[in-house]
Amino acid sequence: MRYLPLTHDDRTAMLARIGAKSINDLFVDVPSAAVIDRGRFALPDGQGELEVERHLSRLAAKNLSAGSAAFFCGSGAYRHHVPASVDHLIQRSEFLTSYTPYQPEISQGTLQYLFEFQTQVAMLTGMEVANASLYDGSTATAEAVEMARRITRRAKVVLCGGLHPHYSATISTLAKLSGGEIIAVPRRPGEREELAHLIDGETACVVVQSPDVFGLLHDLRPLAEAAHAKGALLIAVMNEVVSLGLIEAPGAMGADIVAAEGQSIGNGLNFGGPYVGLFATREKFLRQIPGRLAGETVDAAGRRGYVLTLSTREQHIRREKATSNICTNSGLCALAFTIHLSLLGEEGFARLARLNHARAVLLAERLSAIRGVELVTQTFFNEFTLRLPRPAKVVIDALVEQNVLGGVPASRLFPDDSAAQSLLIVAATETNSTDDIDSYARALAKVLS
């Protein structure tokens, strides 16, 4: 059926029914500063398909893609090798076209891979239970904070200075609506923070990222003990999930909730999304988990089957009783995660993590040996921060001319922090060859000379 827009008489009748004189009356609550006059949009005339395709191709050619240069960017989105078999499998029609598993009798495949995904996430994080994914790492972290506030019935939230600013912003946005009190610790690149003194009887949780936004690894045990002594929860956050193949699981260090970005496994950079949020916690907090939980059971004949064990979403129960307003999970991205991790296996995943760390160590040694370059992050996984003798943004622009995407200037994440101007956040993965590292070292030395 074609979509037929409303006529003028239709609109007039609808406005009269609700007591409005014009459509503009429906937007009286929008601040005038946010209203844009249509006349300010100078849009070109329509073009044919061929002309549009040529124009978009010219625009795309201005980009320097991750696969066309020595690539060392990270800060929450990492370039890893994804086997061709992953994309081949997730594009099978039964996976690509399936949606929500409301009817278990016809959704066994979807429910099983979600169950396997949950099992993998729980094992990686060292936790007892994991959900069937969230949108991405930042929203998973914000959901973790809201969950901690529900459990403790407290409002105060302490955020470590090394938390990715996009994650902090997501938490703060949600807290404005839910009434949370956010205490953000000042950033101290390359240094471990003292947070225990900020925890009191009103603290719901402490949020700590490891490796943090500057790449520094943290021992969570002391902070977990300090939080638990005051009745607060510890939320562990990570942008780079491959690190779990080498470092100790946050669950083993006392974390109560783990929120992470799972993009590194099975999912490419994809121009910034879609990604997949990982969420795991202790079994005693199971009924406060956001989203949904897939479980294993047996049918009347004793055969293994899968069901949605828990769906604490506003679509499934009364809105005021829901723990989350998330309306779906990143199912296809979660499947890609599960396939890739299954192909790697436990030993392969650990070997991948060791390779990432080795490449980063080699890169840090080469770059910090250049005159004027200081290694800020001493204990890291595959990402670290450098202090340069010139503004990092200027250096990055010059490196692009040398066909090197050299990292993320900290000023891009912290535009109002003058101390961040000289900081450059650099990541290395298994995709970086020794030739890439040599090219980066030569290019940086040339740019800084």
Residues 6+ apart with CB under 8 A from 115: 294, 295, 296, 306
pLDDT higher at 20 or 329: 20
pLDDT of residue 40: 72
pLDDT-based confidence at residue 181 (cuts at 50, 70, 90): very high
Cβ 338 vs Cβ 265: under 8 Å: no
**How many angstroms separate the CA atoms of 305 and 334, rounded?**
20
The Cα 232–Cα 200 span in angstroms is: 8
| pLDDT > 70? residue 315 | no
Instruction: Report the chain's terminal Cα–Cα distance, integer Å.
Output: 66
Query: Both tokens of residue 53?
Result: 């395709």
Instruction: Give the 3-state secondary structure of residue 169.
Output: helix
Question: Burial letters for 42-62: b for 16+ Cβ neighbours within 10 Å, e otherwise?
Answer: eeeeeeeeeeeeeeeeeeeee
pLDDT at site 447: 97
Domains and CATH numbers, the chain: 68-81+346-448 (3.90.1150.10), 84-341 (3.40.640.10)
Q: Measuring CA to CA, how many Å separate 205 from each of 199, 228, 271?
A: 8, 9, 33
Cα distance between residue 259 and residue 278, in whole Å: 6
Q: Which residues, 6+ apart, have CB-to-CB distance to 142 below 8 Å?
A: 167, 170, 171, 173, 174
Residue 266 CA to residue 87 CA, distance in Å, equals 8
271 closest CA partner among 77, 443, 421, 104: 77
Token pair, residue 376, equals 């800020």
Residue 394 has pLDDT above 70, yes or no: yes
The whole-number average pLDDT for the span 310-326 is: 69
Higher pLDDT, 236 or 314: 236
Best CA proximity match to 142, nearest among 185, 171, 113, 176: 171
- 338 CB-near residues (< 8 Å, 6+ apart): 113, 116, 117, 120, 266
pLDDT in tens, 125-155: 999 999 999 999 999 999 999 999 999 999 9
Partners of 305 in the β-ladder: 297
CA-CA distance, 167 to 420, in Å (whole number)?
Answer: 18
- pLDDT band per the 50, 70, 90 thresholds, residue 33: confident
Cα 23 to Cα 9: distance, rounded to the nearest angstrom: 13
**Is pTM beyond 0.85 here?**
yes
Whether 431 and 79 have beta carbons less than 8 Å apart is answered as yes
Q: What is the pLDDT of residue 155?
A: 95
- Residue 392 near residue 426, CB atoms below 8 Å: no
